[in-house]
Structure 1
Amino acid sequence: MSYFGGRNQQAVNPQNIAMAEQELEMVTDLFNRIVDSCNQKCISREYVDNDLTAPESSCIDNCVAKFFEVNNSVGQKMQKMGQQ
């Protein structure tokens, strides 16, 4: 099936496109918040080396893991509240 003008073109549901755009915006926002937060917490302002140091790399790994853990936990609690 071709999405670029083949015979088997299917109609695109505008609602699906809107949902996909919204999801992309949410993922982009999450990524930007992670980058901002973990950069502030973990990266030294004095750039001595092109690469991350071992402590910076470890800090970023922990920061991202905690960010996802908290985000997941908040999402689950909000889902439970919505079901009540």
Structure 2
Amino acid sequence: MSFWLNNSLVNSEEINEQRLMIADFQFTAGSKAYENAFKSCLKQCIPHHYTEGELNKGETVCADRCVVKFMKANLLIGQYIQQTKFANPQNMGAYQNLPLNNNNK
């Protein structure tokens, strides 16, 4: 039972397992991209020995630029994949074997 949603809304809508799996896959991929950006930018911009309680201006600017580069790269890769790979299902290769594909049921 959900305390946050009206029960009539929960009962009237069917849960689509395929969409749920896609959403989980996208969330996991986004979380992993964020984690990789964080680790890389931390390693690149913040010294391993902390001398101050807060970031100095140089560290802040470096981290900001680093994260922006990761986000732009992620956006460009996503756009490229949408325009090329997913435009034609035959180009998807290994993705054909994912349980998300209706043809494998």
Alignment RMSD (CA, Å)? 2.0
Identity rate of aligned residues, in percent? 24
1:33-84 Cα distance to aligned partner (Å, 9 max, x none) = 0011100100011101121111000000000111112222233333343247
* TM-score using structure 2 length: 0.67
Correspondence for 1:36 among 16, 31, 39: 39
Corresponding position of 1:52:
55
* TM-score using structure 1 length: 0.82
Map 1:4-83 → 2, pairs under 5 A: 4=2, 6-8=7-9, 9=11, 10-82=13-85, 83=87
Amino acid paired to 2:73: V
Counterpart-to-counterpart distance in 2, 1:59 and 1:26 = 24
Provide structure 1 residue ranges, at least 5 long, that are not aligned to the other structure.
Answer: none
- Relative contact order (C-alpha < 8 Å, sep 6+): which is higher? 2
Provide structure 2 residue ranges, at least 5 long, that are not aligned to the other structure.
Answer: 89-105
| Shift in alpha-carbon separation, 1:28–1:54, aligned structure 2, 3 A | same
The number of aligned residues is 82
